[in-house]
Structure 1
Amino acid sequence: MEDPLLRHAGGMANGTAKSDMTVAVEDAALAASAVPVDAAPVKTVKEAWDTFMAESARLWLIAMPIAFQILCVYGINSATQIFVGHLSNLELSAVAISLSVISNFSFGFLLGMGSALETLCGQAFGAGQVEMLGIYMQRSWIILFASACIMCPFYIFATPILKLIGQEDDIAEAAGRFTILIIPEIFSLALNFPTQKFLQAQSKVSVLAYIGFFTLILHIGLLYLFIYVFGWGLTGAAVAFDISMWVVAIAQTVYVIGWCKEGWTGLSWAAFNDIWAFVRLSFASAVMLCLEIWYMMVLVVLTGHLHNAEIAVGSLSICMNINGWEAMLFIGINAAISVRVSNELGSGRARGCKHAVVVVVVTSLVIGLLAMVVILGSRNYFSVIFTSDKEMQRAVAKIAYLLAVTMVLNSVQPVISGVAIGGGWQGLVAYINLGCYYVFGLPFGFLLGYPLHLGVQGIWIGMLCGTLAQTLILVFILLKTNWKDEASQASERVRLWGGQNEPTKSS
Structure 2
Amino acid sequence: MPPEALVPAHPGWRDAFEEAAADVYPSGAVVGATLMSPRAIGNNPSPFADTPVADTADPAPGLVGWPAYRAELASIASLAVPLSLSNLMGLVISLVAIGFVGRLGAFELSVVVTSTSIFNVSGLSVLTGFASAMETLTGQAYGAGHYSHVGVVLQRALLLTTLLTAALGVLWTGADRALIALGQDPDISRSARYYLLTSLGALWCQGVFENLKRYLMAQGVAAPVTAATLVGVVAAPAFNWLFIYRCDMRLLGAALAMDAVGLVMVATLAGAVVARDRRLAGTRRATWAGLSREALGGWGEYVRYALPSVLMICCEWWTFEAVILLSGLLPDPPTSLSAMGIAVDTSGAQFMLISGVGMALSSRVSNSLGAGKPAAARRAVGAALTCTLAAECAIAAAIALNRERWARVFTDVPAVVAATVDLLLLVVATLPGDGTNATLQGLLRGAGRQEIGAVANICSYWGIGIPMAAFLGIKRNLGLRGLWWGLVIVNLLQGCVMLGIASTINLSEAADKAAARFEQRRSLTQAQGEEPLLAADRLEAGPAAGEV
Task: Report TM bin, short chain.
Answer: 0.7 to 0.9
Distance apart, 1:61 and its partner CA: 1.3
Distance apart, 1:295 and its partner CA: 2.2
Q: Distance in 1 between matches of 2:151 and 2:448?
A: 20
Q: 2:43 aligns with which of 13, 33, 49?
A: 13
Q: Distance in 2 between matches of 1:389 and 1:175?
A: 28
Q: SS in structure 2 opposite 1:356?
A: helix
Q: Distance in 2 between matches of 1:286 and 1:497?
A: 26
Change (3 A) 1:228 1:388: farther
Match of 2:122 in 1: 105
Match of 1:480 in 2: 504
Q: 1:53 aligns with which of 70, 75, 79?
A: 70
Greater mean alpha carbon deviation, residues 147-156 or residues 198-207:
147-156
Distance apart, 1:264 and its partner CA: 1.6
Distance apart, 1:174 and its partner CA: 5.8
Give percent identity, aligned residues only. Answer: 25
Q: Distance in 1 between matches of 2:105 and 2:449?
A: 45
Work out whether residues 106 and 151 of structure 1, in 8 Å CA contact, stay in contact via their aligned partners in 2.
Answer: yes
Q: SS in structure 2 opposite 1:115?
A: helix
Q: Distance in 1 between matches of 2:106 and 2:483?
A: 22
Q: SS in structure 2 opposite 1:7?
A: coil
Q: Distance in 2 between matches of 1:219 and 1:204?
A: 25
Give CA-to-partner distance per residue, 1:95-117, whole Å, 9 cap, x none. Answer: 33432344233111111111111
Work out whether residues 49 and 223 of structure 2, in 8 Å CA contact, stay in contact via their aligned partners in 1.
Answer: no
Work out whether residues 110 and 144 of structure 1, in 8 Å CA contact, stay in contact via their aligned partners in 2.
Answer: yes
Aligned positions, number: 490
Match of 2:407 in 1: 383
Distance apart, 1:130 and its partner CA: 0.7
Work out whether residues 300 and 313 of structure 1, in 8 Å CA contact, stay in contact via their aligned partners in 2.
Answer: yes
Change (3 A) 1:431 1:141: same
Counterpart AA for 1:241: M
Q: 1:213 aligns with which of 216, 230, 248?
A: 230
Match of 1:192 in 2: 209
Match of 2:377 in 1: 353
Work out whether residues 80 and 360 of structure 2, in 8 Å CA contact, stay in contact via their aligned partners in 1.
Answer: yes
Work out whether residues 32 and 61 of structure 2, in 8 Å CA contact, stay in contact via their aligned partners in 1.
Answer: no
For structure 1, the residue ranges without an aligned partner over 5 or more in a row are: none
Counterpart AA for 2:37: R
Give CA-to-partner distance per residue, 1:152-201, whole Å, 9 cap, x none. Answer: 24433333333444556676566555434322222112322221111110
Work out whether residues 60 and 72 of structure 2, in 8 Å CA contact, stay in contact via their aligned partners in 1.
Answer: no
1:89-238 to 2 correspondences below 5 Å: 92=109, 94-165=111-182, 167=184, 172=189, 175-227=192-244, 229=246, 232-238=249-255
1:417-496 to 2 correspondences below 5 Å: 417-496=441-520
Give CA-to-partner distance per residue, 1:235-288, whole Å, 9 cap, x none. Answer: 433222221122222322233234314112222211012222322222222222
Change (3 A) 1:422 1:454: same
Counterpart AA for 2:482: G
1:259 paired with 2:283, answer no
Distance apart, 1:144 and its partner CA: 1.5
Change (3 A) 1:115 1:308: same
Q: 2:431 aligns with which of 381, 394, 407?
A: 407
Q: Distance in 2 between matches of 1:85 and 1:75?
A: 15
Match of 2:394 in 1: 370
Work out whether residues 48 and 224 of structure 2, in 8 Å CA contact, stay in contact via their aligned partners in 1.
Answer: no
Q: Distance in 2 between matches of 1:75 and 1:403?
A: 20
Give CA-to-partner distance per residue, 1:285-318, whole Å, 9 cap, x none. Answer: 2222222232222222333344443433333222
Change (3 A) 1:327 1:18: closer
Work out whether residues 312 and 456 of structure 1, in 8 Å CA contact, stay in contact via their aligned partners in 2.
Answer: yes
Change (3 A) 1:405 1:97: farther
Work out whether residues 116 and 285 of structure 1, in 8 Å CA contact, stay in contact via their aligned partners in 2.
Answer: yes
Work out whether residues 371 and 408 of structure 1, in 8 Å CA contact, stay in contact via their aligned partners in 2.
Answer: no
Q: Distance in 2 between matches of 1:289 and 1:498?
A: 33
Distance apart, 1:499 and its partner CA: 5.8
Q: Distance in 1 between matches of 2:191 and 2:421?
A: 27
Task: Name the larger-Rg structure.
Answer: 2
1:283 paired with 2:300, answer no
Distance apart, 1:353 and its partner CA: 1.2
Q: Distance in 2 between matches of 1:473 and 1:16?
A: 40
Counterpart AA for 2:165: A
Q: Distance in 2 between matches of 1:465 and 1:18?
A: 40
Q: Distance in 1 between matches of 2:485 and 2:459?
A: 17
Distance apart, 1:365 and its partner CA: 1.8
Change (3 A) 1:324 1:295: same
Change (3 A) 1:390 1:412: same
Change (3 A) 1:54 1:451: same
Counterpart AA for 1:425: R
Greater mean alpha carbon deviation, residues 288-297 or residues 408-417:
288-297
Work out whether residues 327 and 336 of structure 2, in 8 Å CA contact, stay in contact via their aligned partners in 1.
Answer: yes
Work out whether residues 388 and 439 of structure 2, in 8 Å CA contact, stay in contact via their aligned partners in 1.
Answer: yes
Distance apart, 1:430 and its partner CA: 0.7
RMSD (Å) for aligned C-alpha atoms: 3.1
When the two structures are superposed, what TM-score results if normalisation uses the length of structure 2?
0.81
Greater mean alpha carbon deviation, residues 451-460 or residues 471-480:
451-460
Change (3 A) 1:7 1:37: closer
Distance apart, 1:492 and its partner CA: 2.1
Change (3 A) 1:129 1:36: farther
Match of 1:274 in 2: 298
Distance apart, 1:230 and its partner CA: 5.1
Give CA-to-partner distance per residue, 1:55-105, whole Å, 9 cap, x none. Answer: 111111112222222222222112223444456566555433432344233
Q: Distance in 1 between matches of 2:406 and 2:173?
A: 34
When the two structures are superposed, what TM-score results if normalisation uses the length of structure 1?
0.87
Counterpart AA for 1:156: T
Give CA-to-partner distance per residue, 1:391-424, whole Å, 9 cap, x none. Answer: 4434422322222223333222111000110111
Q: Distance in 1 between matches of 2:120 and 2:309?
A: 18
Distance apart, 1:41 and its partner CA: 4.7
Work out whether residues 337 and 360 of structure 1, in 8 Å CA contact, stay in contact via their aligned partners in 2.
Answer: yes
Work out whether residues 447 and 507 of structure 2, in 8 Å CA contact, stay in contact via their aligned partners in 1.
Answer: no
Work out whether residues 35 and 60 of structure 2, in 8 Å CA contact, stay in contact via their aligned partners in 1.
Answer: no
Q: 2:354 aligns with which of 330, 338, 350?
A: 330
Change (3 A) 1:474 1:194: same
